[in-house]
Amino acid sequence: MDQISLGVPQPILDQLPEDGEPARSDMQEAVAGLEAQLNDAFEAADDDAAAASHAVDTVELLEERMERYDEFVPELRAWGQSPIYAIAWRNLYADLIAQLYEVDWLAERLDRERNQRLVEDGIRFGGR
């Protein structure tokens, strides 16, 4: 399995305020850690299906985080605070998901694994 490469898109970094250097560093560190974690999991995986399973776990985690930050935006606005950091993190998580789907060997497997999980959950919930 090929290694993947993830990054923080420049437009996301550009939308941060001038004093947002700590957030820029945090984003880059988080993405580097995520990339290393995924590449380690891919290397340890027995086959493509196991690698895709790790990737789907990551996509689901990123979706949860994206939704959490999306919920912060109206709250911050209601309190008169700038939601720019919440928006930047939300956009970063969405972009990371897109970056995973851009990996040729992984894209089809991601959809297959996600569909399989939906079917398994439907059978499990429907059978009760």
Domain ranges (residues) in the chain: 31-123
Q: How high is the pLDDT of residue 123? A: 64
Nearest to 53 by CA among 111, 101, 5, 121: 111
* Helix pair angle (48-78, 104-126), 10° resolution: 80
- Contact, 27 vs 88, CB < 8 A? yes
pLDDT string in tens for the chain (128-residue length): 688 999 999 999 999 999 999 999 999 999 999 999 999 999 999 888 889 999 999 999 999 999 999 999 999 999 999 999 999 999 999 999 999 999 988 988 998 898 888 887 666 555 54
